[in-house]
Structure formats: C-alpha cells, structure tokens
Structure 1
Amino acid sequence: MTAPEAGELAASWQRRFAFFDLYGLPNSSPTAKAAYRTLPVWDKVRLTSNVWALLFGFVYFYAKGMWRKGTTILGAGVGLGALLSVLHAPGFLSQVVTFGFAGAIMTTANYAYYLHVRGSRSWNPFEGFGPRA
C-alpha cells in the first residue's frame, strides 16, 4: 500500500496536516503552542487524538500502511503484557498500564501518519516526539 498524497486525504486529515506543516507538533515551539491554544476544543482533540488508534492499536497502523510502527507497537504491547504477567502484577496495575499504552498510541497516531505520508519509514511510533536536537 502506498501512502496517499496530501491532496487525496479527507478534509479532517488535510486540516491536521496543515497544522503540522505550519507548526509541527503542538508542543514543539512557542509558536505552535500559541496556535494550538487558539483552536476550539474539539479541533484540539481531533489534532492530538485518534480514537481508531485507541480502539484498534497496531491494527490501525497496519491499515494506514504504517506496518513498521505497527509492528513496534505490537512487540511493545506483547513485551509489556509478558512483563506484567511475569511480575504477577495486580489487575489494577495491568489495567493502568494497558490504558496508558493505548493512550500513548492514540496521541501519536496522527503525527505518525503525517510523517508516513511525508515519506518517513521509521520503526519508531514516537518519531518527532521528545526533546529537539
């Protein structure tokens, strides 16, 4: 599956891509933070969250053509599950870790797809997040 061109995307993706083109991630610079703060609440949610990625995890990444990142997510999820099982973690802790992991996937999916369409073939689902060089 090849990545679509930016003009071939749905209007919601075009809005996200326009923000990322202008500012990068919402926390990447003071200008990006200021622009993000001016957005209506639901636009902020749509920009930084992806419910489909929350619900389907690595399968969503595969469906969008980001199989490398999806494989990394699958491996990390299996690893976390195995670690929690070996440590005999209580159910509550397992649920917290699972929801936290799903939340991380949800918040990285949109920018990961933006980078994918722009040509990134990284295995890192957190590519572009974190401190800048």
Structure 2
Amino acid sequence: MRGSILNFSAENARGIITASDSKRYEFDAGEWKESIAPFRGQPVDFEVNENGMAVGVYLSLDETSPGGQSKKEISKGWQKRFSLVEKAGGPKLKEARNLPFGERCSVSFSFLAFFFGPIYYLIKGMWRKAITLLGIGLVAVIVLEFVLGLFNLPSEIISSFVIPMIFATRAVPDYYKKVVEGKDDWL
C-alpha cells in the first residue's frame, strides 16, 4: 500500500501514515526500514498487518514530495536535515535548543546561504523568499546604519553581516517548507 508520513514521534517511537485508501495507520519505529529518520510528507510503501498496523515501511522513491520534487532528487544530506527539522519541532525550530550542538547548527545555519544569499535561494527555487529576505535585510541595514550613526559607532562591519545572517539562518527551514510541505510563499 502507498501513503505518506503524517507524523512521527522519536520520543514515542511511533508514527502515523495517511494511506492512499484515505485511512490512517500507525507504525512502530522498528517497522521503519530506512537509514534516515522518517519525517512529515515522505511518501512510503507499506503493508498492513492483522491488527491494522503498518509494517515494513519503506520510502517510495518513485513518488514526488508535496513540493513537486522527486524523492530521488533529494540528497541523503537534505533528507537527514529534514529529519532534524522534524526533530526540532518543524520549520519554526521550536525544539532546536534540545538538539545536540552539531545537529542544532545543521538545521539553524547554512554556510552556503551565508556566502551566496539570494543566489543560493534562486538555485534552490525559492525566488519569492529571496526577494522578500533581501528587502527585509536592506531595511534592517538602513535602520542599523541610522541608529549606529546617531551614536557615532562604526557600522560597516556589523551591517555587512546582517543580510548574510538572515539568509543563513532561514535557508534550511525555508527549503524544508518548500520541499516537504510544498509551501513556496513570500515569507
């Protein structure tokens, strides 16, 4: 049977699949047969046992994500990051502080987005967000320059990091929303 992951809780070691027959099936973490953790939106193939539980749950590689990207096109690295975003409480990263330092850095900062900003977003197909974040960044730089100028403080070094930091800290959650949730909005 085919479906997609609706929810997965690492704490409870259980998940829920919405199946193609419009029913929901629970599964235990032991039935997940992939090397990466399950996360919301992943298309899966599975069987149903006599108790109505999903068993033998595998990624369905011939399907596309809600964002329209083929699962074959999503690298293992991004799949791992998406799994960490789920573990961190979704794209708002509400539970990120509970992650180990390395995992927290992986979901909350992108070096490529820091160095390439809007170009990185354009390559990832998030042009709306690139325009929005660039606009927000420019307004923030103007305000920061004005405020620091009032106090005769040097602003060149500080303001040169504002726009890169905005892109770097938003890249992973924004790409998660695009690929996993299928949301490609302006903010």
Q: Structure 2 matches for 1:45-124, cutoff 5 A?
A: 45-81=105-141, 89=149, 92-117=154-179, 118-124=181-187
1:8 match: 73
> How many residue pairs end up in the alignment?
117
Q: Which SS does the other structure have where 1:57 is aligned?
A: helix
1:42 match: 102
Give the structure-1-normalised TM-score.
0.68
Structure that is richer in strand per residue: 2
Q: Which moved more, 1:111-120 or 1:81-90?
A: 81-90
1:131 match: none
Contact 2:91 2:176 in 1 (8 A): no
Give the structure-2-normalised TM-score.
0.51
Structure 2 CA distance for partners of 1:82 and 1:45, relative to 1, 3 Å: closer
Structure 1: 5+ residue stretches without partners: 125-133
Shift of 1:106: 0.5
Shift of 1:75: 2.1
Structure that is richer in helix per residue: 1
